[in-house]
Amino acid sequence: MRKDKHPKGWVEIKTNDSWAIFKIMGEFVNGFEKMSAIGPCVTIFGSARTKEDANYYQLTVSIAKKVSEAGYGIITGGGPGIMEAGNKGAHLAGGTSVGLNIELPFEQNDNPYIDDDKSLDFDYFFVRKVMFVKYSQAFVVLPGGFGTLDELFEAITLIQTNKIGKFPIILVGKSFWKGLIEWIKHTMLNAGNISETDLDLIRIVDTEEEVVEIIDAFYKGHTLSPNF
C-alpha cells in the first residue's frame, strides 16, 4: 500500500510490491543451489554485439579454451557475441559451460554452447550479478558497453571496500582499455578519489596465455571458494 498525491488530497493505492520479494527470493535460491554444485569457474564479460568474425570473438574462444583446459569452468551472461564465444571455447575444450541468461528487449538470446543443465534464467539484473561475483574465481573482461562496465566496476568496488575477497580482474585488449585506464590514473587518482593501490586490482593483457598465467599465479596462494 502506498499513498499518491491527488488533486483532492492523498489517496491510497494498492500495490503488489511486497510480493515481489518471493520472486526475488526464488531466483536467489535457484541460483545458489545450481551454482554451488558447479565448482571453480571464471566469468567472461564483453559485448553481446561482437560478431563471430571479429578478432575479439576469436580471441575469447581461445581464452575460454585455455581457461577450461586449466581446470576452470566458464560462466557468461548466456547471450550472443563475447558471451557466446566464451561458452563456445569451453564447449570445444570439453569444459563446464554456464550461461546466466536474462530477458532483454534486444540483444539477449541463449547461445547454443551452454551445457543443457547449466543454463539459468533471471529477471533481475542484481540477482544475476550476485551469481557472477559469488561463484567466479576471476573476471576476464573483453571490450563491451555499459553492461560490461557496470559488472566490471561493481566487482572492483566490492573488492576495494572489502565486501568480498580479492580475485583477479583481467581486462583483455590494451588498445581498447587504454583510454579508460589513463582517465582512471590521471583524473580519478589525481583528484584523490581513489588510492594508488586501487590500480593494482586490475590487470591488462592481450593474450590468452597471460590470462591463464595471472589466474594460476593468484591461486597458488589463495583458496578456490565462493567469494562471500
Q: Does some domain include residue 27?
A: no
Q: Does some domain include residue 223?
A: no
Q: What is the pTM of this model?
A: 0.89
pLDDT in tens, 63-81: 999 999 999 999 999 999 9
In this predicted model, which residue has the larger pLDDT, 62 or 2?
A: 62
Percent of the chain, pLDDT > 70? 90
- Residue 110 has a pLDDT of 83
pLDDT exceeds 80 at position 11: no
- Domain coverage including residue 180: 45-218
Is-contact 124 66, C-beta < 8 A? no
Q: Does some domain include residue 128?
A: yes
Averaged pLDDT score across all residues of the chain: 92
Question: What is the domain-level CATH number for residue 122?
Answer: 3.40.50.450
Task: State the alpha helices, DSSP H only, in the chain.
Answer: 20-35, 55-69, 82-92, 125-135, 146-160, 174-183, 208-218
Q: CA dist 189 to 148, 181, 202, Å?
A: 22, 11, 14
Instruction: Quote the number of domains for the chain.
Output: 1
Cell numbers placing 202: 586490475
Give the integer Cα–Cα distance in Å for 126 and 27.
10
Q: What is the mean pLDDT of residues 106-120?
A: 86
Q: Does some domain include residue 141?
A: yes
pLDDT in tens, 162-181: 999 999 999 999 999 999 99
